[in-house]
Structure formats: structure tokens, C-alpha cells
């Protein structure tokens, strides 16, 4: 049984036949279910969805996945992966410096954005920490941009970190800027934009010969697909909004790489 998303007259998302719809993440698993069409008004490719019955267990797993794969954790997760599995990235630096850098990135990119969102919620500037309404995103995103640029500039000016790490941190900042600009017009998926960036960053790691970069690429592909599927299952986004997130996230990486090369020159 198949269904597809449609828009109601009031602009809300509806599901046909009382079934939740999640995307098929891998074409090789079920190629007969995949067809591509244009998804107005963004002219982005849309996957035909396979119908999956609503389930409390699946809903719980989707919510749990949305939390664990939240964009706020992405910079620290990438830094932790590089520190643990890609020591050649830190060649020429003191042995334990990578763990101090991991602590610095985690503290700034997790603690400050979460604290800001919590204070905005307690002060009634936003209705919930989930920020369901588009306008609730603006203040947290602006604050996050400041924190992300701060940590990038710290690693660029004070630590003189490797170009790959600077690209990671500048890319996180640029991704947030692009997501904020898109959010003025439509509700782009923050989750898919973050994981689209992770996938592009993993490709860069492969190209530069970072250790354990191929497993990172595989993890980025799988976790990115799971993040997008979870957001669609919870009806937090339309398919076009998820696809737009992947594209914006992936585009942030080459912009960051060019920016770092220009700054270092």
C-alpha cells in the first residue's frame, strides 16, 4: 500500500489512509519503491514513500533519534571521531592537545546553544524547546551563529589548528547562517542540513587521506538517512524541506574549505 504527502487548504501536513510515511533510505534495498518527481514550490527531487503503520514504538524511536542526532551535537561528534580515530589529522601537535580541543569544542557548541534555548523558553520568548514554529528558530539560530564563529576564530587565530579542523568549525558556522537565511522563507530541516554537512565533510576527509575516513563516510550516510526519516515520520517536515536541508548542508562544506584556504593564504 502506497501513499504520498499532500497539503491541506490550511497548509498543514496530512497523511493518507491513516498511515505514517517514511522514506526508503537505500535504493538497493527496495528499488521498485523509488520514483523521483518535482516537489513544488522548491523544485527538489522527492521520493515516493512506502507506507508504514503508525506505531508507539516507532514514534518513540523517531523521537529518540531526533534527540541523539540533533544538530547541536554534530560538531562535538565529528571532533570526537577525529580525535579517536584520525590521529594523523593532529600530526605535528602535542599528543594530548586533541582531547583539550575536543573539550573546548564540546563546551562551546553544546553548552551555550542549549543554555540559550533554555533561557529563551523560560523567558517565554519561544513556546517550546522543540521550536515547532518557524519564528521560534530565529533567536536560537542567531545565538548559535555567534558561538560557532567564536569557536572557529579561537581555533583559527589562537590555536592555529589544522586546516581540516578549521574547515569543520567554519562549515558549522556557515551552515547555520544558510539555514537561518532559508528559515526566513520556509521551515528547512535543521537535522538534515547538519547531516548533509557531515556527509560532505566525510568526503573531504577521504580526499585528504584522513585515517578512518571511509567508516566516517558510511556512518554519515546511514545516520543522515535515519535523521531525515525520523523527521518525516514525526511529520516535522515536508520531504522538500528535508531534501533542502541535505543540499544546504553539503554546500556549506566547500564554502568553508575555500574560506579557510583564503584565510591561510
Residues 90-133 have pLDDT tens digits of 999 998 999 999 999 999 999 999 999 999 999 999 998 888 88
**What's the whole-model pTM score?**
0.81
Q: Are 34 and 146 in a shared domain?
A: no
What confidence score (pLDDT) does residue 57 get?
93
Read off the pLDDT of each residue in 150-164 and give the average, rounded to a whole number.
97
Which 3 state secondary structure label does DSSP give 51?
Answer: strand
What confidence score (pLDDT) does residue 3 get?
40
**Bridge partners of 39?**
44
Read off the pLDDT of each residue in 79-97 and give the average, rounded to a whole number.
95
Q: Are 78 and 173 in a shared domain?
A: yes
Q: Are 7 and 102 in a shared domain?
A: no
Of 29, 118, 31, 28, nearest to 72 by C-alpha is 118
Q: Are 154 and 73 in a shared domain?
A: yes
Q: Are 206 and 247 in a shared domain?
A: yes
Assess contact for 180 and 212: CB atoms under 8 A.
no
Q: Are 72 and 27 in a shared domain?
A: no
Instruction: Tell me the three cell numbers of residue 182.
Output: 532559508
Distance from C-alpha of 147 to C-alpha of 151, rounded to nearest angstrom? 6
- Containing structural domain, residue 215: 56-264
Q: Are 115 and 73 in a shared domain?
A: yes
Instruction: Tell me the three cell numbers of residue 138.
Output: 530565529
Name the domain count of the chain. Answer: 2
Q: Are 75 and 205 in a shared domain?
A: yes
Read off the pLDDT of each residue in 185-190 and give the average, rounded to a whole number.
96
Q: Are 103 and 18 in a shared domain?
A: no
What confidence score (pLDDT) does residue 52 get?
66
Amino acid at each position: 500500500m502506497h501513499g504520498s504527502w499532500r497539503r491541506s487548504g490550511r497548509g498543514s501536513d496530512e497523511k493518507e489512509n491513516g498511515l505514517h510515511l517514511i522514506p526508503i533510505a537505500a535504493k538497493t534495498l527496495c528499488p521498485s519503491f523509488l520514483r523521483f518527481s518535482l516537489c513544488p514550490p522548491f523544485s527538489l527531487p522527492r521520493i515516493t514513500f512506502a507506507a508504514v503503520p503508525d506505531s508507539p514504538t516507532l514514534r518513540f524511536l523517531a523521537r529518540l533519534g531526533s534527540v541523539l542526532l540533533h544538530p547541536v551535537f554534530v560538531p562535538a561528534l565529528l571532533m570526537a571521531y577525529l580525535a579517536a580515530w584520525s590521529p594523523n589529522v593532529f600530526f605535528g601537535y602535542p599528543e594530548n592537545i586533541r582531547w583539550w580541543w575536543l573539550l573546548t569544542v564540546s563546551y562551546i557548541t553544546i553548552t551555550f546553544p542549549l543554555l540559550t534555548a533554555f533561557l529563551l523558553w523560560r523567558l517565554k520568548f519561544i513556546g517550546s524547546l522543540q521550536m515547532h514554529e518557524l519564528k521560534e528558530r530565529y533567536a536560537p539560530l542567531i545565538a548559535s551563529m555567534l558561538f560557532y564563529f567564536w569557536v572557529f576564530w579561537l581555533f583559527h587565530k589562537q590555536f592555529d589548528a589544522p586546516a581540516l579542523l578549521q574547515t569543520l568549525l567554519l562549515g558549522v558556522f556557515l551552515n547555520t547562517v544558510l539555514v537561518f537565511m532559508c528559515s526566513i522563507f520556509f521551515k528547512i530541516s535543521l537535522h538534515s542540513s547538519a547531516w548533509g554537512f557531515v556527509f560532505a565533510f566525510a568526503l573531504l576527509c577521504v580526499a585528504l587521506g584522513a585515517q578512518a575516513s571511509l567508516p566516517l563516510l558510511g556512518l554519515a550516510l546511514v545516520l543522515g538517512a535515519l535523521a531525515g526519516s525520523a523527521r518525516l515520520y514525526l511529520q516535522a517536515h515536508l520531504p522538500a524541506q528535508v531534501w533542502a536541508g541535505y543540499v544546504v548542508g553539503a554546500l556549506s562544506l566547500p564554502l568553508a574549505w575555500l574560506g579557510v584556504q583564503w584565510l591561510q593564504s
